[in-house]
Amino acid sequence: MILTLKNFLSAEDCDHMVSVLNALEWQGDKNDEPEYNELIKKHRQLGAEDSPLVNKYSSALTEKVSSYAPITRATQQQAIKPFQFNCYKDGDSYERHSDAAFMGSTPRPMRTDYTLGVFLTDNYEGGDLVLEYPSGLVERIRGTKGSLICYNCGVLHRVEPVTQGERIMGIGWIESKFRNQEEREIAVSVETLYDSLRTEKGLDHPHTQELNSIYHNLCRRWQNT
């Protein structure tokens, strides 16, 4: 699944955020493995722990995503990891990799089911996000300023070298209510159909309530414990 939303943030909000982030000191070598930093992760980043201002923007993006129905519905969101910010310039890249299956530790490690990316700049050359699926399909993604992309974790992907300008993004991860992708998709279909039936027939219609019951019974059967 790939979900793309244009104008998730305004251009003005993006420009303001970028100006503040660039006034801070971008950090490198965030990964615990020196070899990974040398061979794979060749960019700079800022996390919520690096500055109160970064924490402010991280919290704002996390809250906006958590309350945005198209995302929470499509992912069946249960938890979200606070956003961090990545900066690519002067040949920076992120070589072919897959995101970690679990991140964080409090109150428990969070399983990563979806990756979120908010494009804060678009005036750069290079820097395409390339997704490589097991089927052999290769997809290139280049978002406009203020757009959001959401895609399944576990897909091998890379960010090609940025040859000119700055590629600055907010990055987050979502844990779904459902571990299994097929169950996730069924739950989305049932909940979407429930909304349509509620609009057409009304909340108190027997079929609306029956479908609502089916959705919650699926949650009881499949949802993470």
Report the C-alpha gap between 174 and 80 in whole angstroms: 4
- Say if CB 171 and CB 99 are below 8 A apart: no
Predicted confidence (pLDDT) per residue in 32-66, tens digit: 676 777 778 889 999 999 999 999 999 999 999 99
Dihedral in degrees, nearest 10, Cα atoms 110, 5, 129, 10: -100
For the chain, the residue count is: 225
Predicted confidence (pLDDT) per residue in 88-127, tens digit: 999 999 999 989 999 987 778 999 999 999 999 999 999 9
Mean pLDDT in residue range 161-187: 94
Model-level pTM? 0.89
- Say if CB 52 and CB 59 are below 8 A apart: no
Q: Hey, how many other C-beta atoms are within 10 angstroms of the C-beta on 88?
A: 25
Instruction: Quote the pLDDT of residue 29.
Output: 62
Q: Hey, how many other C-beta atoms are within 10 angstroms of the C-beta on 156?
A: 14
Q: Which of 8, 151, 175, 42 is nearest to 141 (CA)?
A: 151
Instruction: Quote the pLDDT of residue 2.
Output: 85
Cα angle at 79 between 143 and 129, to 5 degrees? Answer: 20
Predicted confidence (pLDDT) per residue in 11-35, tens digit: 999 999 999 999 999 987 666 676 7
Q: CATH assignment of 2-176?
A: 2.60.120.620
Q: Is the pLDDT of residue 225 over 60?
A: no
Report the C-alpha gap between 30 and 137 in whole angstroms: 31
Cα angle at 163 between 37 and 138, to 5 degrees? Answer: 75
Average pLDDT, the chain: 92
H-helix segments, the chain: 11-22, 34-39, 52-66, 69-75, 181-201, 206-222
- Say if CB 24 and CB 54 are below 8 A apart: yes
